[in-house]
Structure 1
């Protein structure tokens, strides 16, 4: 199916609501007059709203418009990444060390541009206390609020309760930051290597040979005094 708009002589209507190249409203004109204006301006007449009554047409450089649209589409595809959902399992009676470990894992995943799904499993009578599970998951979300947002609020499913956090940054942005950090680290290592190499060269540089002290100059003898 061709989704391209009708252009110039392909517009088969009697009248159009004409829009100028700068977005100014010209008004309802005969399509012949709109085509004449397009030709005089060196532009194209493009039907941008065919279902309006009358259809809306705009004066524009259609070739340039198509090129810029294609560029934007390619850029969008290049920046689009498949987001991965990382799962982290926790328990209601999680200890502090394990809690910090799980939170650290979530931070790494989120900073890398991936979503994180927390899976909490109730054991035994814990299933009768879903409010505690909600508080635990909400607390994690609050501590990670600077780098994430809640995409799926805590929800109970039988003995399980889950919550999904989404990163605030796109994965493409996270990858760009990672590349910049790696480049900065490589540059820092190169500078450190150059500095150490210079220090080593200074250490092996031969000592300068001391110069012999200059001999003191002999005083010139005084000429004899003439006798009277």
Structure 2
């Protein structure tokens, strides 16, 4: 028994997976559509045969962009080019999508000035990259009776990097440790964009050819003695 196109479509959708692709050209099975021109101009409600004829004359595709409207909305476009540009935009969006990472830096309450500057340098680098930093002050022995030492150290660090980050989680005692979390003032995506721009500018200045980026070495987060 031969089924009408509409009945065939209904049987297919009940029993199979509905495609996310819009219907185009002769797959659009409605008597009329609200037609939109290639530049977004409103043509009006026209019979489907007329819309198909206009598409052929313009060497374009007729694409159903709003199937639930009454009547459905269809647009004249180069569907192949549209799909390619959409894929490129999605790819760029995924590439620019950034996930904030929480780095960790461990310090001792009586850290010496040189080690402090080294650790602070790592914190600055993390914040510039758009990452959060968990600062952990590790107390040992009698140091546990002097929590103010850790608090003052964390406060000093927060003040030293105030242009790059802010205190998201205030210092709090957690057993033998005191913890504070710094968050970057810039979003991860902004930091990545700036880093790419700096690399491009440096390449232009130095006239360097394209080369793979160096792999960042792991930061030593062992507490300073």
Tell me which interval the TM-score lies in, with the shorter structure as reference length.
0.5 to 0.7
In structure 2, what is the Cα distance between the partners aligned to 1:96 and 1:144?
21
| Runs (5+) with no aligned partner, structure 2 | 1-16, 209-225
Aligned to 2:183: 164
Q: 2:163 aligns with which of 140, 143, 160?
A: 143
Deviation string for 1:41-80 (max 9, x for gaps)?
2211111122333322111111221222233344445556
Aligned to 2:52: 35
| Runs (5+) with no aligned partner, structure 1 | 188-228
Q: Cα distance 1:54–1:122, how it changes in 2: closer, same or farther (>3 A)?
A: farther
Aligned residues: 181
Aligned to 1:211: none
Does the 8 Å CA contact 1:153/1:163 hold for their aligned counterparts? yes
Does the 8 Å CA contact 1:154/1:161 hold for their aligned counterparts? yes
Q: Which has the larger radius of gyration?
A: 1
Deviation string for 1:103-162 (max 9, x for gaps)?
321232344x3513223448657779xx989966763552215xxxx6x82267762332
Does the 8 Å CA contact 2:132/2:181 hold for their aligned counterparts? no
Q: Cα distance 1:48–1:99, how it changes in 2: closer, same or farther (>3 A)?
A: farther
Q: CA RMSD in A?
A: 4.2
Q: TM-score, normalised by structure 1?
A: 0.56
Larger RCO (CA within 8 A; separation ≥ 6)? 2
Which stretch of structure 1 is more off in the superposition, 115-124 or 21-30?
115-124
Pairing 1:16–2:33 present: yes
Q: Secondary structure at the match of 1:143?
A: coil
Q: Secondary structure at the match of 2:83?
A: helix
